[in-house]
Structures are given as structure tokens and as C-alpha cells.
Amino acid sequence: MPFFRFKGEQVYFLDKGKGKPVILIHGFLGSHKVWQKVAPDLTKRFRVVSIDLPGHGFSNALGYVHSMEMYADCINTLIKHLQLRKVNIVGHSLGGYVAMAFAEYFPDRVKSLILVNSTAKGDSEKRKKEREKIIVQLQKKRKLVLAFLVNSFFVVPSRLKRYWIKNYLNQALVCSNQGIAATIRGMKERKEREIVLKFAPYPVLILAGIDDPLISVKQSKEESSLAKNGHFIILENSGHMSLYEETYRLSKILAKFIKNLKL
């Protein structure tokens, strides 16, 4: 298995294809597996690297709080491990928060920034309280809490919905309570990073699911307009899980956007 060392622990990643480097960062409770249907189309054209963030998949948790800054440092360590210079960084949900932190702290390494069902904003006070409740409930009713969370991610009707939920829930169940709680604390405490978009010297693409219950289309469009070279696309058949709900269209959009970037 391919691993690199970060803060004394092994972190898992996959590295496939050749060409422009693309880093794929999964969302909360996911792993590199969430990209399994998107990545193959990209690896035909690019070098695609997907990671299991600490506390997810095959990567161990690293402490009490998994801050977005820590995750960004982890991504930078991976990039140095692979001896890459600039990368196209793609983040879904939590992965987008990580990508934003990476773009703030390592701007010279960013070729383009792509957010999928994600935002540059921090949590509202209401959202923070909801996250705290999840941490408490997790210790008592782990399986029920994870099942509830995963089900809440998938809101778009589909004959494949049950399969998607089962697939994602299996990934969630691999996560330890320590890793889940540490990631929740990190998301809760994350900074507002709209200023990163405003001063981004690289192209930015934000993709929004029209039925996303967590991030509105209006919010995503407004954030994309902050960037000088900002782009915005609505995914008409998606909620918060576009990488499952519109796999084919998402992979085509990503491939076209990255292919058209100037060298």
C-alpha cells in the first residue's frame, strides 16, 4: 500500500496516471474511494492523486482536533513526497475546506482551485451547536449517528441511492470515533476564507448542486464571483453528493477545466 509519513503516522494515498497533477480530497466520513467513479476518466489525461485524510480510510487519527490547517499541511507533505511543484486541487465538502486552507498557506503550489459542494465560509453558530451534539451522541449511538449523517448527505431521489448510501456508510464505519470527533472539531473551528478567493491569482471553479441542503446555489455563485478568474457551474441533478449523483458530468467538467488551463 502507498503511504507517506506525517506527524509520525502513515497516511494513505493513490497515485495514478500521467500529466498535470490533480489532488482529490474527499469529504467528511469519506475516503479516496468516493472518487472511484470520477478518477478513472481523469487518469486518462492527468496524474491523479487521491488521499485518505488523517482519521479517514486507511489513515490514522492524529489528535483531539483535526484543524483545516493541519490537513493542509498534510496535503503539502504529500505533494513534497511526490516531488510535485504546482497542483490542481479539488475538494469535496470537507475536502473543499482543506483545499481553501491549503490555498491560503501554500498559494505558490496551487495551479487551480476547485470546490465541489463546498464553501469558503465558516460555520454558523447554529451549525456549531449541531456539530457538538453529534460528538456527544457519537459516543453513545455510533452506528445510528453515522447512518443518520450519511443518509442526510443524499437527498436526490435515484434508483442508485440505496447503493450510494451503503457505499458511503461503509467508508464512515471505518473511521474511529477519535478521528470523527477530531474532524468535527476542526470543521467547527475553521476560519472564514473568502479573502483567499478574492486574492486568488489562479483560476477558481465552484460547482454547486442545485438541491444541496447545506450550501445554497446563491452562496456558491457569490463566492465564485469573488475570484478574479472565478467560474461557477450548477449541477442540475445533484444535492450535496455530486460525485455520486452526477459522476459522469462532474468528471467531464473537471477534465475540461483542467485541460484548458495554461501551462
CA distance 43 to 45: 5
pLDDT score, position 262: 74
What contacts 150, CB < 8 A, 6 or more positions away?
29, 165, 168, 169, 172
CB atoms within 10 A of CB 261: 12
pLDDT score, position 202: 97
DSSP letter (8 states) at residue 231: E
Q: Which residues of the chain have pLDDT under 50?
A: none
Q: Does domain 3-259 have CATH number 3.40.50.300?
A: no
pLDDT score, position 263: 58
If phi > 0 it is left, if psi is from -120 to 50 it is alpha, else beta; for residue 169 that is: alpha
CB atoms within 10 A of CB 124: 9
pLDDT score, position 28: 98
pLDDT score, position 179: 97
CB atoms within 10 A of CB 257: 18
Helix (H) and strand (E) counts in the chain: 11, 8
